[in-house]
């Protein structure tokens, strides 16, 4: 509980405590002031207090204190001055980042100092023993002792700020800035684990935003500014994921971006779409989804050609060449599985992939009929993409797709591949796409050329020596060719067998030969049937009306009866369908009523629980108020007693509670009793001294009076004796 009349007094008190080295007490003083309900109106002094507060939190690495203080300050600033909260949070993150950098620099300096400590011995004996015992090097140990705590605090800082700023329309710009800085932190220091957690945090924030639509100050994603900030954050997340090599997280980021676009049903700017498809090409290439990689390149080419007015001819050629080579790199045979479960999983995966690249497919249709290598190549030719590519790419396309050169194919393809591997480089007129390297497609093109050559050779030769076949394929050794051919045979692209004992390759198999013979016999039978029809034409049917009419009447009656029966069947089916619909509606109504009843019961339970909770809160509040009144009474009594004695009852800034006041009152009574006892002891001692002095002074007087009385009594006695003796 804060007891300062003005916030300036708390700040002054904190600075005094810091000056004498009591930083914990200073932090607690400011924390009590910030969390107090007494100071809910924003003023400039509170901002200065928050600056000092976050400085103490960072210096002492008190993340929990910082979070509590920022939450309270957000309540103060949210409706009045959001810029003040932004400045405080920026200062907080700046201090945390600066401390982490200082720790890293200090660790590096320490490592360098240890390295040059002794030029003859790299390490001291104690360092060697410590490294063998702990199993870590000097740099690892210094990082663990110096750098890791500050990195942990910096990561906690970003999490705290994101949690404070989440799902608030007035703070969404600051939220986006914090997310970008957190991504930059993960990229700079290669923090892959923290990056995954950061992506999950941001994903949960968006899910909660959609879940709680009646939340106050909820960001409106239909607003262009809000949508742009959310998209920019996701694109920054995608870039960071690709730079860190976290391809699974990159794919999830792509799905987040696509889900955000589908949620608001608005197409983002062309510049963002270019980044989107550029990153998709990388993700699909890493995941070996070559067909979707090629389609993503095609989308990227279409966007650049349509919206980039500054696109140069060289950059257009490079992008078009990449599109064509990506399409050629797709395997020329279907790799789908035979299992029903695998087919369903693959179908679901294809739907997800096609949606990501902007193709909306019918879930019931076969996606491979729409998205296929042949369809893509045909579209590239019809849309003029092939005509924009370089001459080497055009030549290799015609060689691999249209030419039949079973003997010379490898020799003609190899020099073209050498030229293509040298093509590529940085793009000058496409800012979001840094460079295009066509050399990445060379292995896939070599594999495609090998498959084309094997298939063409299989159509010409039935048997060939391994030696001759190896000379025709200059790209790989025969072991690699054999692995490629095994996969092709598995997917029924070619039919061949390798006999290593005889060092020969045999093309074709018994199954294919029987299929060919069967087809030939069917064609031969069809031709003979046509010839027989020409030699012996069938007899013409009678066309007289008298012969047709009786049969026609009977046919009409049968058709009429069939139509009537069909009508009856249709009516029955309609009735059955209506009955089923009514039954379904009854079931749905019953489910709805039961669900409504269950919801009402849950609501009643919730209201009862809420009533109990409020009742308990009220009781606790009354107890607190009563204790507060008692504490106030103690305070007034203490103040009265203190005023009478000229002492101040409570020091300004001191935390006052009922217990502390009771303890203060008891201590005061004990102190008064002790002082009274001391006074009585002192008074008794004074009385003793006074009595002794009186007796010391009275002793000679008493003695003199006693002697005088003896003299007087003696004289009296003598007079009385004389009287008795006289006659």
pLDDT tens-place string over residues 593-632: 888 888 889 888 988 898 898 888 889 888 888 877 777 7
Helix (H) or strand (E) holding 426: strand 424-426
Name the DSSP class of 544. -
Would you mind telling me the total number of residues written for the chain in this entry? 727
Q: Mean pLDDT lowest for which of 220-224, 396-400, 539-543, 721-725? A: 539-543
Q: In whole angstroms, what is the distance from residue 640 CA to residue 648 CA?
A: 10
Mean pLDDT, rounded, for 497-507: 90
CB 511 within 8 A of CB 517: no
Strand partners, 436: 425
The full DSSP string for 489-503 is: HHTTS--EEEETTTT
CB neighbour list of residue 250: distance below 8 Å, 6 or more residues apart: 238, 241, 242, 279, 282, 283
Q: What is the mean pLDDT of the segment spanning 508-521? A: 52
Per-residue pLDDT at 460 exceeds 60: yes
Least confident of 256-265, 385-394, 571-580, 628-637: 628-637
Spatial distance between the Cα atoms of 18 and 24, rounded to a whole number of angstroms:
9
The pLDDT tens digits of the residues spanning 659-713 come to 776 777 778 778 888 999 999 999 999 999 999 999 899 889 999 999 999 999 9
Confidence of residue 364 (pLDDT cuts 50, 70, 90): very low
CA-CA distance, 401 to 572, in Å (whole number)?
58
Q: Which residue has the tokens 């290598």?
A: 373
Q: Which of the pair, 656 or 586, is modelled with greater confidence?
A: 586
The alpha carbon of residue 715 and the mean position of all alpha carbons in its chain are separated, in whole angstroms, by 125
d(CA 104, CA 139): 11
Cβ neighbors of 573 (< 8 A, separation 6 or more) are none
Q: pTM (2 decimals)?
A: 0.60
- Rounded Cα distance between 31 and 66, Å, is 9
At residue 373 the predicted structure's pLDDT band, cuts being 50, 70 and 90, is confident
- SS3 (DSSP) at 579: helix
| 346 band by pLDDT with thresholds 50, 70 and 90 | low
Q: How confident is residue 395, by pLDDT bands cut at 50, 70 and 90?
A: very high
Predicted confidence at residue 559, as pLDDT, reads 83
pLDDT of the residue at 686: 92
The tens digit of pLDDT for each residue in 92-108 reads 888 888 888 888 887 77
The answer to whether the CB of 429 falls within 8 A of the CB of 308 is: yes
Three-state SS sequence of 2-66 = CCCCCHHHHHHHHHHHHHCCCHHHHHHHHHHHHHCCCCCCCCHHHHHHHHHHHHHHHHHCCHHHH
pLDDT higher than 50, residue 120: no
Model confidence band, residue 521 (pLDDT cutoffs 50, 70, 90): low
Which has the higher per-residue pLDDT, 341 or 355? 355
Which carries the bigger pLDDT value, residue 450 or residue 557? 450
Q: Which residue has the higher pLDDT, 720 or 350?
A: 720
Q: Which residue has the higher pLDDT, 1 or 720?
A: 720
Helix (H) or strand (E) run with residue 506 in it: strand 504-507
pLDDT value of position 348? 66
pLDDT digits (tens, 9 = 90+) for 140-164: 555 556 678 888 888 888 888 888 8
Closest alpha carbon to 158 in 202, 114, 119: 202
Q: Is residue 323 within 8 Å of residue 385, measured between CB atoms? A: yes
């Amino acid at each position: 509980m804060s007891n300062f009349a003005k916030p300036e007094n708390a700040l002054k008190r904190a600075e005094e405590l810091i000056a004498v080295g009591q930083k914990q007490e200073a932090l607690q003083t400011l924390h009590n002031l910030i969390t107090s309900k007494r100071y809910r109106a924003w003023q400039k002094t509170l901002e200065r207090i928050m600056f000092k507060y976050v400085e103490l939190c960072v210096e002492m690495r008190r993340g929990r204190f910082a979070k509590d203080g920022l939450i309270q300050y957000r309540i103060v600033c949210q409706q009045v001055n959001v810029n003040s909260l932004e400045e405080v949070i920026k200062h907080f993150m700046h201090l945390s980042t600066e401390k982490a950098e200082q720790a890293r620099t200090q660790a590096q300096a320490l490592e360098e100092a240890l390295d040059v400590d002794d030029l003859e011995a790299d390490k001291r004996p104690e360092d060697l023993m410590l490294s063998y015992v702990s199993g870590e090097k000097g740099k690892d140990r210094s990082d663990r002792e110096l750098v890791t705590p500050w990195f942990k605090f910096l990561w906690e800082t970003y999490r705290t700020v994101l949690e404070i700023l989440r799902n608030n329309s007035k703070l969404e710009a600051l939220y986006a800035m914090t997310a970008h800085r957190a991504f930059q932190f993960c990229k700079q220091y290669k923090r892959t684990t923290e990056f995954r957690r950061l992506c999950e945090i941001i994903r949960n924030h968006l899910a909660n935003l959609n879940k709680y639509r009646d939340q106050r100050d909820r960001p409106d994603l239909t607003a262009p500014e809000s949508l742009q900030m959310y998209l920019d954050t996701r694109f920054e997340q995608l870039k960071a994921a690709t730079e860190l090599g976290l391809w699974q997280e990159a794919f999830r980021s792509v799905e987040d971006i696509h889900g955000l676009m589908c949620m608001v049903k608005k197409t983002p700017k062309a510049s963002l779409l270019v980044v989107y498809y550029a990153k998709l090409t990388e993700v699909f290439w890493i995941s070996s989804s070559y067909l979707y990689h090629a389609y993503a390149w095609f989308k990227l080419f279409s966007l650049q050609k349509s919206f980039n007015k500054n696109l140069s001819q060289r950059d257009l050629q490079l992008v078009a060449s990449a599109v064509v080579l990506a399409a050629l790199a797709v395997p020329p045979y279907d790799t789908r599985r035979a299992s029903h479960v695998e087919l369903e999983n693959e179908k679901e995966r294809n739907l997800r992939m096609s949606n990501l690249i902007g193709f909306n497919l019918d879930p019931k249709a076969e996606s491979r009929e729409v998205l296929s290598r042949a369809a893509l190549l045909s579209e590239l030719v019809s849309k003029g993409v092939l005509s924009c590519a370089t001459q080497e790419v055009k030549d290799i396309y015609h060689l691999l797709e249209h030419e039949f050169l079973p003997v010379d194919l490898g020799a003609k393809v190899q020099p073209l591949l050498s030229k293509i591997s040298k093509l590529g480089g940085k793009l000058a007129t496409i800012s979001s796409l840094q460079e295009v390297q066509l050399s990445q497609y060379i292995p896939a093109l070599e594999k495609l050329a090998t498959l084309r050559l094997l298939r063409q050779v299989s159509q010409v030769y039935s048997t060939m020596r391994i030696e001759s076949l190896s000379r025709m394929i200059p790209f790989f050794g025969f072991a690699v060719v054999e692995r490629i051919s095994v996969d092709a045979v598995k997917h029924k692209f070619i039919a061949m067998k390798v006999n290593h004992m005889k060092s020969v390759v045999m093309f074709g198999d018994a199954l294919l030969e029987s299929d060919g013979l069967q087809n030939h016999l069917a064609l031969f039978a069809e031709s003979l049937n046509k010839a027989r029809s020409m030699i012996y034409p069938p007899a013409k049917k009678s066309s007289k009306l008298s012969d047709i009419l009786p049969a026609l009447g009977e046919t009409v009656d049968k058709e009429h009866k069939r139509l009537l029966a069909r009508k009856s069947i249709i009516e029955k089916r309609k009735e059955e369908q209506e009955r089923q619909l009514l039954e379904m509606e009854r079931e749905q109504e019953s489910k709805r009523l039961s669900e409504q009843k269950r919801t009402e019961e849950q609501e009643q339970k919730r209201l009862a629980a809420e009533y109990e909770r409020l009742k308990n809160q009220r009781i606790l509040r009354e107890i607190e108020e009563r204790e507060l009144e008692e504490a106030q009474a103690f305070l007034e009594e203490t103040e009265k007693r203190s005023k009478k004695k000229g002492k101040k009852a409570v020091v300004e800034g001191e935390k006052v509670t009922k217990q502390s006041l009771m303890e203060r009152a008891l201590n005061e009574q004990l102190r008064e009793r002790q002082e009274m006892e001391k006074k009585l002891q002192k008074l008794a001692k004074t009385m003793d001294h006074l009595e002794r002095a009186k007796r010391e002074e009275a002793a000679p007087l008493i003695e003199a009076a006693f002697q005088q009385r003896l003299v007087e009594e003696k004289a009296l006695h003598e007079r009385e004796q004389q009287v008795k003796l006289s006659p």
